[in-house]
Structure 1
Amino acid sequence: MKKRKRISLLLVLALLLTVLSACNGKSNDAGASNSPNGSPASTVTSSLGQSSEASGGNKEPAASDGGPFSKYETPITLTSTLATQGWATFPAGETWDNDNIWHKLIRETLGIDVKWAWQVDGSQYFNKVNLTISSSDLPDVMMVNKQQLNQLVEADMVEDMTQAFDQYAMPFLKEQVKSSLLSAQKTALYNGKLMAIPEYAGDPRDSALTLYIRTDWLANVGLPEPKTLDELIQTAEAFAKKDPDGDKKADTYGLGLLPVYTGGGSLTGFLNGYHAYPAIWVPDSSGQLSYSSTLPEMKTALGRLQQMYKDGLLDKEFGTKDFNRLKEDVIAEKVGMFYATVSESATILGEAMKKNPKALWKALPLVSIDGQPARPSVPITGGAFFVVKKGYAHPEAVLKIMNLFVTKVYGEDGAGKGADSNYAWKDNGKYAVFPQSPVQAYVKDFNYEAVRDALKNNDGSQLPENLKKTYDLVKSTDGTEVNEGKWQQWWIYQTDISPFEVRVNYQKDPNFTIVDSFYGGSTKTMDEKAATLSTMELETFVKIIMNAAPLDDFDKYVSNWRKLGGDQITKEVNDWYAKNK
């Protein structure tokens, strides 16, 4: 459940930074959570019909044609489930129930009448799904996690979605699946069959970390932008000991880090500089997958962090800090350097600029300890899937709704054609309405590049209306207006300092980012042991960094990890890898 909450937050942040920019000049990380080749299937309709009849005599889809947005001539009903979100609020008259903006759009555009089989608070959602599976009384469509998908596939309770995807997925979605969403699509494959439609949760590379730094502080301490990890540590020492804010007080520290692997303040950006990739599986020299947190590079990186802590370059309360406290430190100008995803340009720096509009922030790529570039590592995003009950006559309805969601939130193509930001956020971002859709998908967002290129050419005339608003707002400001989201938008589109530009450069080489090579969900021993092993890992690493344990305790951790289930997990992961690589 914690993973699901983190993914949901990243998605909200990503929408705030990109989709919301179309509403009011605001923009995810966010951020969370990829393969059929997308070739057309000429026999889809008859195949679906045969499958439905074999499962209970349901009739074939009542669509006027087999296209991605075809409307059913005779309206159909689709029952589904809903995880309500306590943070989401709606305009007057809008509710989670059937009369909201998304349900109306789906009815009017596709001829699908969505009915909730049940709804429950998001924190309890997957528990409720477990009860539903146990009852064998499934709705037509339901969002499940990977373990639940495994169970449903094994019990033959859900439809094979291979042909439905081939015929009904819109071209833009197929293009994304072939590239940035390939890993998510693979998580739903069983013996070559697509047994669910992933929620996708965006390009995993979108959650890659960036280094944020106060360039005015650099000027104050007389240092250039760090190009190596050694230079970063030199900068951290200057930020901690040379009064970078000029207040003649020893009230700053060097690098903002938290005891986490993802999001703002993450350790991962520093570890990646040592070519260490925490909590993911990577191929080793023998062609097998190894758990990267146990490899020698991790020990070396932890040793350097331990020395930084001894030298006073990290907050002495490192081990107990969380994201909110880091944000408070940035706003209070106690720290001028930290790692984060692009989303934090809104959640941290937007607030920091209100406190000090003269601060100068810049996003930099990760820096390395040697001549090899630092490659950002990212976990597989997602973990949620839409399954269709075995025998439901209209499995393609899931794709049609997903197509509609992608079009309204992102557009029909990489230029944002057809996007309508009112279906993501209403009233200048006051209301988040995208969670009302029964089927959602988070794909690679090209909005930044479209607006950036228009600004570069000084011509926004070819942009769709929602992106034209962003273009006009950026053109209307010079970075001195820190309220109403104007600074964030100005900053995002200044390519020499933008975190989005750093991310684009990361993604020029599709193999540059290190993506978790294990996308099989969870093995039997992982289900039993992973939580304990993860706790042991982070506790050991935090103690080492804070000099509460010797560096050689890393070797004890590796030994214990192997004995307490790690060796068996490694075997299970590699058994899976042999079949799926």
Structure 2
Amino acid sequence: MNGRKRLSMLLVAALITTVVSACSSGSNNGGSGSEGNGGQNVKSTDNAGKTAASDGPFGKYEQPITVKSVLSTAGWATFPEGETWDNDNRWTKLYRETLGVNLKWNWQVDSTQYDNKMNVTIASGDIPDLMVVSKKQLNQLVEADMVEDLTDVFDKYAMPYLKEQVAEALAPAQKMATYDGRLMAVPMYGGDPRDSLVTLYVRSDWLAKLNLPEPKTIDELVQVAEAFVKQDPDGNGKADTLGLGVLSATMGGGSMGGFLNGFHAYPDIWVDDGAGQLMFGSIAPETKTALARLQQMYKDGLIDREFGTKDYNRLKEDVVSGKLGIFYGTISESALIAVDLIKNDPKASWKAFPLPSIDGTPAKPSVGVSVGGFHVVKKGFPRPEVAVKMMNLFLQKVYGEDKFGTNNDLQTYAWAENAKYAMHVLSPVQGYIKDYNYRLVRDALAAKDPSGLNEALKNTYDLVAGTDGSDPEKWQQWWIHQPAVSPFEVRDQYQLQPDGVVIDKYFGGSTKTADEKMSTLGKMQNETFIKIIMNAAPIDEFDNYVANWKKLGGDKITQEVNEWYASNK
């Protein structure tokens, strides 16, 4: 998982425990620990073998152990005065005072160089006792019998809430770290995959002004886009507003993925082909149908002429400047974009919608399964449970010990000083799980009873209960907790359906052929889709793309994926 997505997952929690208007850049910057180039890795010594671990998820070592590590840094991160990557910051103090673990760093490297440095470390045979590696590196270490089996220590030391999450939302991540039924690493959990789904965002004040229907179908969405372009929704007398805001990416915030989902197409993930095998969603016939509709919208001027060169930041500029009133987005990113517009135009209003469908079958958002890395323990290391205990402590401080957020301290250890500082990146062990903050605050507001909330959520309750949405500084929190318009409510409704979200069925890591070919195939996909949408190629060019995708490595990758699938169903 890249840093932007990982930070966005934490923003989901932060959005409903503190006002985060100051951290809009957080959703676009990388954090440490991303798979292949961002992990922070730990080596622990045994103090002559005399140290014994106390039982329990947060048991403190009777005598401190020294944990030697390699450190990945990120240039974008800033911290309060007196705290740095390698000094005695709040996370090193926490691990020392709570667990009896003294952290020391052997070397530091920028996150962009981490993967190469770790490859050299593994090749030398002198690996740390506890470290974060990519899936490819994990495969190598397991095959070489260089890492500890963590099955038993996880069963013994993982806190109950983590086990509960692993049995549900985190099951795919746990399976990625499992070989022949044995847990060989503690994943850097990426949270519930469904939390990263996209929804549709529409300027509801423009809908009301132009007397337009709320878009439930693709045809209604196109109708709204056309009106937003041609009927001057901002009332300035100029033809300067845009239709549907989409990027050339097929997954994530601002992407065309949500539109494709409306045609029951699921790009960039592996889905059931109906015959018990997996197929790559980007080459499905439904994808071609969706691209044809986007091509027609582009011809009709309903998609920005600069579509092929636009990135996320430029789409955000269009929204904030009041030019764009429809886009697909993830929950955390979109809430940040929306509030920036409200600060410029307090009369504007937004509503989140389920994905419009091309037919009578409800559209389902698609999501991938990502893990930011894998915490492994060197074979023979006498204290393998340290990885589990450190994970427990990280999750406790960021999320709490249960769905009520008991004992969490998000505003100290994750988004400090009203989200000015991203402190969680300093922790050498990281993971992201499902939070229930929205449901807890929403239900408390409905009942007008905050007694069951922890302190942080009570602050959110008080803020929302004390405003009517007219204050731009408080609008974001107010909007999030209005079920009639909230993207969190849309997400919850999808998640309450047993099969409401299409989740990538392949989570075995990159295959051998994918390592060699997928980058080229992805570039070909992006170029082909852009040409089709911008009418630089006919829609039948999609068929050539599919044929070339298969010939240039796709068929072999599909074979490898299905070999994994057959043994991991």
Same fold judged by TM-score > 0.5?
yes
Are residues 1:119 and 2:108 paired? yes
3-state SS in 1 of match to 2:331: coil
Can you list the C-alpha shifts for 1:407-437, whole angstroms capped at 9, x where unaligned? 1111110011111121112222222211111
Q: 1:538 to 1:58 in 2, by over 3 A?
A: farther
Give the partner amino acid of 1:319.
Answer: G
Which runs of structure 2 are paired with 1:113-512 in the superposition (5 Å)?
Answer: 113-421=102-410, 422-483=412-473, 486-512=474-500
Cα RMSD after superposing both structures: 2.0
1:25 and 1:296, CA in 2 relative to 1: closer, same or farther beyond 3 A? closer
Aligned length: 552
Deviation string, structure 1 residues 293-351 (Cα, Å, up to 9, x no partner): 11111111111110010011000110000011101111111110000000123431121
- The one-letter amino acid of 1:329's match is D
Amino acid at match of 1:566: G
CA contact (8 A) 1:19 1:410 kept: no
* In structure 2, C-alpha distance between the alignment counterparts of 1:149 and 1:343, rounded to whole Å: 31
2:8 is the counterpart of 1:13: yes
Q: 1:16 to 1:223 in 2, by over 3 A?
A: same
- Following superposition, the deviation at residue 32 of structure 1 comes to 11
The CA deviation string for residues 142-193 of structure 1, in whole angstroms up to 9 with x for no partner, is: 1111111111111111111111111111110111111111111111111111
| In structure 1, distance between residues paired with 2:509 and 2:226 | 41
Percent identical residues = 61
**Which region of structure 1 is more displaced relative to structure 2, 79-88 or 552-561?**
79-88
Structure 1 pair 23–61 and aligned structure 2 pair: CA distance change class (3 A):
farther
Q: Deviations over 1:43-85 (max 9, x none)?
A: xxxxxxxxx9xxx9984861232x1111111111222222212
Deviation at 1:284, TM superposition (A): 1.1
Aligned in 2, Cα 1:557/1:58: closer, same or farther, shift over 3 Å? Answer: farther
Letter in 1 for 2:437: N
CA distance in 2, matches of 1:533, 1:369: 28
**Preserved CA contact (<8 Å) 1:180 1:203:** yes
In the alignment, the residues of structure 2 paired with residue 388 and residue 510 of structure 1 have an alpha-carbon distance, to the nearest angstrom, of: 36
TM-score, normalised on structure 2? 0.94
CA contact (8 A) 1:61 1:393 kept: no
Alpha-carbon shift at residue 488 of structure 1 (Å): 1.1
Gaps of 5+ in 2: 32-43
SS in 2 for 1:277: coil
TM-score of the superposed pair, with normalisation by structure 1: 0.92
Which segments of 5 or more consecutive residues in structure 1 lack a partner in the other structure? 34-51
The CA deviation at 1:22 is 2.8
Q: Which residue of 1 aligns with 2:546?
A: 558
Q: Tell me which residue corresponds to 1:41.
A: none
Q: Check the 8 A contact 2:201/2:353 in 1, yes or no.
A: yes
**Partner of 1:131: helix, strand, or coil?**
helix
Q: Determine helix, strand or coil for the equivalent of 1:343.
A: helix
Q: Distance in 1 between matches of 2:90 and 2:372?
A: 26
Question: Partner of 1:428: helix, strand, or coil?
Answer: helix
Distance in 2 separating the partners of 1:469 and 1:345: 22
Please name the residue that 1:521 is paired with: 509
Contact 2:251 2:267 in 1 (8 A): no
How far apart in 1 are the matches of 2:558 and 2:92?
45
**Structure 1 segments of 4+ aligned residues over 4 angstroms from their partners:** 23-33, 56-61
Tell me how far 1:536 sits from its aligned partner. 0.5
Which whole-Å CA distance do the structure 1 matches of 2:47 and 2:89 have between them?
A: 32
Q: Which amino acid aligns with 1:74?
A: Q
Aligned-pair CA distance for 1:29: 6.6
Tell me which amino acid in the other structure corresponds to 1:564: L
1:13-36 deviation line (CA, Å, top 9, x unaligned): 333342364344769979999xxx
Q: Does the 8 Å contact 1:58/1:393 carry over to 2?
A: no
The one-character-per-residue Cα deviations of 1:344-373 (angstroms, maximum 9, x if unpaired) are 234311211111111010111111111111
Q: Contact (CA 8 Å) 2:131, 2:377: kept in 1 or not?
A: yes
Deviations 1:447-495 (A, max 9, x none): 1111111111111122111111111111222211213xx2111111111
Cα distance in 2 for residues equivalent to 1:428 and 1:32: 20
Q: Does 1:576 align with 2:564?
A: yes
SS at match of 1:225: coil
CA distance in structure 1 between the partners assigned to 2:427 and 2:486 by the alignment: 32
